[in-house]
Structure 1
Amino acid sequence: MAPNPKTEPFILHHRRYDDWFERHRAAYLSELLAVRALLPWEGRGLEVGVGTGRFAGPLGVQLGIDLAGETLSYARGRGVTVACAVAEALPFADAVFDYALVVTTICFVDDARAMLREIARVLRPGGTIVIGMIDREGPLGHDHLTRRAENVFYRTATFYSAAEVEALLTETGFRHFVWVQTVSAPLSEIHEIEPIRPGTGRGAFLVVGAQASREQGERRGS
């Protein structure tokens, strides 16, 4: 199988990718706490696009999948049970997870709608999805767009706005959205953990939590 151009940088430069979280530790911790604010405290969890486990590990997410197999040894070392798999074809039965986490993955998958449908399938009715993302309309998103060709990881990424992600979530059966945001300054200027703010529009890193509709679960079981 030929390497996926969106995944290949993470295969070739996995150490450089993992080091980013240490080089920008205050921004990373700001993002981690924003995700923590919306993630359930208990239940069986899955991270789609687990990468090196920088979120799943400290947040206690038990399982993770990623197409970049070279990153999975890092995640395994951080206590996550991992599998090499495609986000659009999750290797799990229906309705087996209480929540799913997706952090800076939606911009790298080939079909975001198909990924969200798969997540809805493997979540129990009323289960939670939490998505962390770079806001295309925020300052960091604009910076990534203008300098995308210079960044080995983001040159093939597809960035989304909050409105676009909410529309995709609605279309794939999710409801009851809650948004929070953080990272309001350039990375080079972030030396302390930033506060979490509600809503969108001020932070470059957005997190949305939503629930899988119970009606969808009922249709699946009929």
Structure 2
Amino acid sequence: MPRVAPFDAHHERYEAWFDKHEPAYLSELLALRAFVPWVGRGLEIGVGSGRFAAPLGVQVGLDPSPAMLAHAAARGIEIVEGTAEDMPFEACSFDYALVETTLCFVDSPARMLAEAQRVLRPGGRLVIGFIDRDSPLGQEYLAHQSESVFYRDATFYSADEVEQLLVHGGFSIDGWVQTLAGPLAGMRDIEPLRPGRGECAFVVVAATRNAEAAESPGPLVRRGAGGRRE
């Protein structure tokens, strides 16, 4: 079931996180900018309040939360209510798709990627931004998961697990970038972007939809859950 209730009830609190942690937000935004295409028709899966879709030029936003979609619409996003596992779009509708801190909320990441494969055109790009569970910051979030309004029931993934999901989901990985090397508390400046993964908490991976049909996704063992926005 979509985990909508906390976002509908606390959407203003969610919005406040970005103002309180502006350097972290901008660091994440710049990491995504490295891979999100400048042209073509784009979709953000789990658009939330549109904080990323709007500045990145993503035209369409999908989300199950009406309250969050209202914020996204106010930012000029073409909003569609729905879930990542059952998208209300025709096949091959988009040139690229963005998934920003949404993977941890979906009931079935494999099903979400199958749907992303379906709605993307052959050769389309998928960009996923997430907190690496195996990073020190990811481990800190895990330790305080029960205290989070939004992420209490979320599932946190490592970079290796995300890579596994993408490969089994019919995508070829193009590259990785990362940011947020230190704790958020006291962060005052935008952090420089680093290549690869394994050093920072926030990781972005870009992948290309293969022309052939995706493989049947195999089982993925989930080893932890967590969150970051309080």
For the aligned pair, the TM-score class normalised by the smaller chain equals over 0.9
Tell me if the contact between 2:173 and 2:205 (Cα under 8 Å) persists in the aligned partners: no
Q: Identify the residue that residue 161 of structure 1 maps to in structure 2.
A: 158
Q: TM-score, normalized by length of structure 2?
A: 0.91
Write the distance in 2 (CA, Å) between the matches of 1:59 and 1:174.
22
Which portions of structure 1, spanning 4 or more consecutive aligned residues, are displaced by more than 6 angstroms? none
2:186 to 182, 185, 189: 189
CA deviations over 1:121-166 (Å, ceiling 9, x no partner): 0000000000000100012210111000011111111000001011
Write the distance in 1 (CA, Å) between the matches of 2:211 and 2:205.
19
2:98 to 101, 118, 127: 101
Q: How much is the aligned-residue C-alpha RMSD, in angstroms?
A: 1.1
Write the distance in 1 (CA, Å) between the matches of 2:64 and 2:197.
30
Displacement after TM superposition at 1:96 (Å):
1.1
Aligned partner of residue 38 in structure 1, secondary structure: coil
Amino acid at match of 1:43: G
Q: Identify the residue that residue 227 of structure 2 maps to in structure 1.
A: none
CA deviations over 1:70-117 (Å, ceiling 9, x no partner): 111111111100011011000000011000000000000111110010
Q: TM-score, normalized by length of structure 1?
A: 0.94
Write the distance in 2 (CA, Å) between the matches of 1:42 and 1:146.
40
1:1-222 matches, within 5 Å, as 4=2, 6-216=3-213
Aligned partner of residue 136 in structure 1, secondary structure: coil
Displacement after TM superposition at 1:202 (Å):
1.1
Q: Any unmatched runs of 5+ in structure 2? A: 215-230
Aligned partner of residue 144 in structure 1, secondary structure: helix
Write the distance in 1 (CA, Å) between the matches of 2:140 and 2:9.
24
Identical amino acids, percent of aligned pairs: 55
Displacement after TM superposition at 1:7 (Å):
2.3
Aligned partner of residue 189 in structure 1, secondary structure: coil
Displacement after TM superposition at 1:189 (Å):
2.5
Write the distance in 1 (CA, Å) between the matches of 2:209 and 2:186.
37
Q: How many residues are aligned here?
A: 214
Amino acid at match of 1:79: G
Tell me if the contact between 2:166 and 2:173 (Cα under 8 Å) persists in the aligned partners: no
Displacement after TM superposition at 1:215 (Å):
2.1
* Larger helix percent: 1
